[in-house]
Amino acid sequence: MPGNRPVYANQSSAHPYGWEEDKLDRALIAGLILEVILDNPGFGTNAGNRRYRVKNRVQETLLLNLAGRVTLDRFRALSGKLERWFPFYYPLISPDTFPPESRKAKPAAASPAHRAIREDRLEEWLYHHAELLPHRRHRKLDSLGLKEFLRSTQGRAFRVKDFQGHFKINGKTAWEYLHKLRQAGLLTHNRGRSAAVRYFLDSYFLQVNAAALRQKISVDLEDIPPALASQVADCLIASGGEAFWDNECRTFQDFRQEVILNLQACGLLEVVSQSGKSRLLQLPPRWLH
């Protein structure tokens, strides 16, 4: 009955989030939240972090199960409804039982990955290319697993061995999938040979124009070792164009003065402010898409 539904302080109606509309969609969203909670009891003891992980897994479940089965517009509509209804349904279903929006969790690992990657473009690509990956549930290499792996790279370079180890597949299979993903436009690489090859998420899926940035660093910073130049590029790409403290990146910690001065001279870095010996750095806006 309507009288049994909770009303929150900022709501004048007992029917929040479009209660009377799209009942089947509401049932789908609520059912997915419940399924994720029951299937993942080990999501940690911190209530705020667990809430974030549940929502993230529900989003991934939508992608995995609907990719190729519904239109992109329909998928986007359901994703939007998840955003609207999750704050209402989660506290009703979760054992945490705290009021929605009463805690603003700040997940420790979410910010860097989200600021570096264009999530909308990555999800759309995975939606349209789901057939490139296995669909068996026991396989870790599926659309969800690939999305998590690419998120974890934050646009940084990775090796075939990294991909192989993450998905627990043999080297030949890892190379075959990386080749397919590169051919389909998701990845690019440094044209290295054998153990020297490094793969990256294509610039299209990143906030930063990574291809142009890597090229600029390789040309203008040719006096520094290639490995260091690659690390510098990784740090700047992972920032997503947002300001960051020099001690957030090991490269700037180890070679702070030399690297920062060179990058400033090349127009690749700006010092926003300084606190003691620490500097707040930022990639100039022209390097963003």
For residue range 203-233, list pLDDT tens digits in order.
999 999 999 999 999 888 877 788 888 888 9
Q: Do both 26 and 80 map to the same domain?
A: yes
Q: Which of 154, 177, 140, 115 is nearest to 60 (CA)?
A: 140
Select from 141, 170, 205 the last residue of a domain.
205
Measured in whole angstroms, the distance separating CA 203 from the mean position of its chain's CA atoms is 14
Res. 177: pLDDT tops 90: yes
Q: Would you say residue 105 lies in a domain?
A: no
Whether 248 and 168 share a structural domain: no
Q: How far is CA 122 from the centre of its chain?
A: 9
Closest CA to 147 of 174, 161, 167, 175: 167
d(CA 169, CA 288): 35
At which of 59, 93, 127 does a domain end?
A: 93
CATH number at residue 275: 1.10.10
What is d(CA 246, CA 254) in angstroms, rounded to the nearest whole number? 10
Q: Which of 93, 124, 147 is the last residue in one of the domains?
A: 93
Per-residue pLDDT band at 43 (split at 50, 70, 90): low
For the chain, the distance separating the N- and C-terminal CA atoms, rounded to the nearest angstrom, is 50
pTM of the model: 0.61
266 and 188 both lie in a single domain = no
One domain, residues 196 and 214: no
Q: What is the DSSP letter of 74?
A: H
Q: Are residues 239 and 272 in the same domain?
A: yes
8 Å CB contact between 281 and 271: yes
Whether 101 is in a domain gets the answer no
Q: Which domain covers residue 129, as residue numbers? A: 110-205
If one compares 109 and 28, the residue with the highest pLDDT of the two is 28
Q: Are residues 201 and 214 in the same domain?
A: no
The number of domains in the chain is 3
Contact 189, 267 (CB under 8 A): no
Distance CA 149, CA 8 (A): 38
> Model confidence at 108, in pLDDT bands (50, 70, 90)?
very low
Asked if residue 157 belongs to a domain, the reply is yes
Query: How does pLDDT run across 252-265, given as a tens digit for each residue?
Result: 666 667 778 888 88
Task: Check whether residue 156 and residue 199 sit in a common domain.
Answer: yes
118 and 159: one domain?
A: yes
Spell out the residues 6+ positions from residue 45 whose beta carbon is closer than 8 angstroms to its own.
Answer: none
